[in-house]
Amino acid sequence: MQVKNEILVRIYIVLSVIVLFALVIFFQAIKVTLFEKDKWLAKAEQFHVKSMSVSKERGNILSHDGSLLSTSLPYYDIRFDPLTSSITDKIFWKNVDSLALCLSYYVDRSLTPGGMKQKLIDARTSGDRYLLIKKNANHLELERIKQFPLFRRGRYKGGLIVEKKPKRERPFGILAHRTIGYVREGANPVGLEGKFDKVLGGQAGERLMRKIKGMNGETIWIPADDFTYKQINGKDIKTTIDINLQDITEEALLRGLQKNNAKYGTAIMMEVETGAIRAIANLDQTENGWWERFNYAIGQTIEPGSTFKLASAMALLENNLIDLDDTVQLHLGKYEFYDEEMVDASYHALEESTFRKAFEISSNVGIALTVDEKFKNDPQKFVNQLKDFNLDLPTGIEIDGEVPPYIKESGSEEDDWSGITLPWMSIGYELSLTPLQLLTFYNAVANDGKMMKPYLVEELMQYGVAQTQFKPTVVDKSIASPSTIAKAKELLEGVVDEGTAKKLKTNVYNFAGKTGTAQVNYSRRGQKMKHQASFAGYFPAENPKYSIMVVVNDPKQGSYYGSDVAGPIFREIADKAYASKFEIQPTMNQEEKPSWRTYSLPDLNIGEKRELAYLLRELEIPFSDNSINQNWSVTKAKNDTLSLLSRNILPEVIPNVKGMGLRDAIYILENKGLKVTVSGFGKVKRQSVPAGRTIKGQTVHLTLS
């Protein structure tokens, strides 16, 4: 019985402990739930962590030679959590003075060290756990700030919060601005940045983020660690742009637009053999200066005017309807098609001329009458021929925004085809193309009829290694017969040699092209006439390397003709490109070495024989020595032979030093006891005391020339 009682006592004791423990837990739960709810919820919020998406590293856009056209540079928002658990009051007050001094001196000089200290104290007192230290700091600034007192304790012990925010930068500024493009929130993507956004963008990573309460109670997510997971950087794009040619093109276009006070302009340079775009420039006149706001090269179709006459001429030639030396009517540059009068741009007083001449002087009447006469019974044949030249197709350039060309269909009511459509189409009206589309056609002519697709991207690269390459693409192996292409080249060369672009000709290299002057508001009666000047061509004419299209809209100062406005821009681009690209220049020593001639030999040079002979041997100029053991000699050239003859210096008479260099003349005269004065530069032309007189210590004045 006693044992039983002992067991019961023990059971009661254990049960009492359990009940007491349960009551403690119950009352603690009531306390947490009712009286400490806010405190513990705040704690839970503070330590809430989750994985969140972070921005990826965007790829670069590179030029043809690897120069950076667009890149992402790392910038950082640097913040401070003064209430992080590892910063005790003792640690804070020990470091706050020196930290404030560093921040005041190196980061925010608008605050004194005392003012900065108070700012840090206020942040700790008010509970600001996301205090901004510096926004958009670069890497060097970040590394410096990391060494400040307190911050140097590290991320968790020092309360330093660093948020990386890559920023897109363009090292070359406005250069190819619209072609490179951009991707911005709330705006349509533009250019290569927009077209290749997914390729450049890569795959976003994930990062652990910790939630904290801001000073005003707002929720703030800050990085919980320095690691990013599953991030794939964007690929780099290597473009066809040649940074030097781009710079040349933009500078030339800008000067031309400023000189002529134009509204806007575009210039494109294409590599003939491949179709690679080496330069593309677009400039607008704005209230704040010149800027590239729109890609006119691909995004706006124009009535090309006279530059389209090449297509009309080739349509006639390809159908064997005309030859270059056939006679065509010009009617003194005026002719009426139904009720519309067509006028040539400049008066030429010609009733008729060869077709070649009509093209060279850009006669509207001559070209239009010929096309109208030959295709009048079947105008669709002319339209179809333009299509055979692929003038009805967009280029398919990689960037968005290309406007398709517009060519009317014969007899179409929808296209408003009329009796004057055919002649006006033949001179570049009642149809429209972008400058790049027209340049692609000219480039095909320069490329012996092979039409290449214009392209801007050569490679997609990852970590410097090419992953995808884009090869030149042939659109049409031959847009016309070899005979037509050869004659088209003759016409374009004739424009420069004898026609409207004659004043642009240079004797350094040959180029070919066509001027264009179009009225852009001819349908708006009562308004001041506006014009568009253009020039399309290629160089060098014998072996074309580059083709160029220049368009200038609404020049208000000086002339408005293509030869005066767009032509000089073409010439400046071509001149500088030719000078900078040695591979397209003829080799200077490719011809057989010419034989020596009298005019190229050093005739009548006088000096010490030993020195003259040394120089002639070094220059590999053959000579014969006929100086009969004299110390002084004179060179004498005859035909292709050079001889060394004696120059006698007698001991008792004044020597003849004419033709000598000053050093030799002074040496000889002073060694004979004569005094020498000198005037001028060069060789001795005259001596004041004639040669042959007896030496008496005279002063000899030498005149050099």
Q: What is the pLDDT of residues 388-442, one digit of tens each?
A: 999 999 999 999 999 999 999 998 889 999 989 999 999 999 999 999 999 999 9
**Domain assignment of residue 37, yes or no:** no
181: CB partners within 8 A, 6+ apart: 189, 190, 191, 192, 193, 194, 195, 399
Give yes or no: residues 547 and 600 share one domain. no
Q: What is the CATH number of the domain that holds 194?
A: 3.90.1310.10
In a 3-state reduction of DSSP, which class is residue 661? Answer: strand
DSSP 404: P
**Domain assignment of residue 38, yes or no:** no
Q: What are the pLDDT digits (tens) for 302-357?
A: 999 999 999 999 999 999 999 999 999 999 999 999 888 999 988 888 999 999 99
Contact 306, 323 (CB under 8 A): no
Give yes or no: residues 99 and 203 share one domain. yes
Which parts of the chain sit beneath pLDDT 70? 1-5, 32, 34-35, 37-56, 155, 203-232, 522-527, 587-605, 627-630, 638-641, 644, 647
**Domain assignment of residue 464, yes or no:** yes
Q: How far apart are CA 96 and CA 105, in angstroms?
A: 14
Q: How far apart are CA 532 and CA 275, in angstroms?
A: 26
Q: What is the CATH number of the domain that holds 679?
A: 3.30.10.20
**Domain assignment of residue 683, yes or no:** yes
90: CB partners within 8 A, 6+ apart: none
Strand partners, 168: 72
Give yes or no: residues 531 and 400 share one domain. yes
Give yes or no: residues 546 and 631 share one domain. no
pLDDT of residue 430: 93
pLDDT of residue 42: 56
Q: How far apart are CA 352 and CA 5, in angstroms?
A: 142
pLDDT of residue 389: 97
Q: What is the CATH number of the domain that holds 316?
A: 3.40.710.10
Number of domains in the chain: 4
Domain that holds residue 680: 650-705
Contact 270, 439 (CB under 8 A): yes
Contact 237, 77 (CB under 8 A): no
**Domain assignment of residue 35, yes or no:** no
Token code pair at residue 62: 């590179």
Degrees, nearest 5: CA angle 247-297-476: 105
pLDDT of residue 442: 98
**Domain assignment of residue 18, yes or no:** no
pTM: 0.71
Give yes or no: residues 218 and 272 share one domain. no
**Domain assignment of residue 153, yes or no:** yes
pLDDT of residue 544: 96
Give yes or no: residues 543 and 406 share one domain. yes
Give yes or no: residues 373 and 517 share one domain. yes
Distance from CA of residue 424 to its chain's centroid?
36
Q: Which of 665, 676, 666, 669 is nearest to 695 (CA)?
A: 669
What amino acid is encoded at 584 in this protein? I
Give yes or no: residues 164 and 289 share one domain. no
Q: Is 648 exposed, middle or buried (0-12, 13-18, 19+ CB in 10 A)?
A: exposed
**Domain assignment of residue 505, yes or no:** yes
pLDDT of residue 598: 47
Give yes or no: residues 579 and 635 share one domain. no
Give yes or no: residues 215 and 359 share one domain. no
Out of 212, 239, 266, pick the residue that ends a domain: 239
Give yes or no: residues 343 and 222 share one domain. no
Out of 626, 648, 670, pick the residue that ends a domain: 648
Out of 533, 553, 584, pick the residue that ends a domain: 584
Give yes or no: residues 71 and 118 share one domain. yes
In order, the DSSP letters of 131-189 are EEEEEEE-HHHHHHHTTSTTGGG-HHHH-EEEEEEEEEE-TTTTTTHHHH-B--TTS--
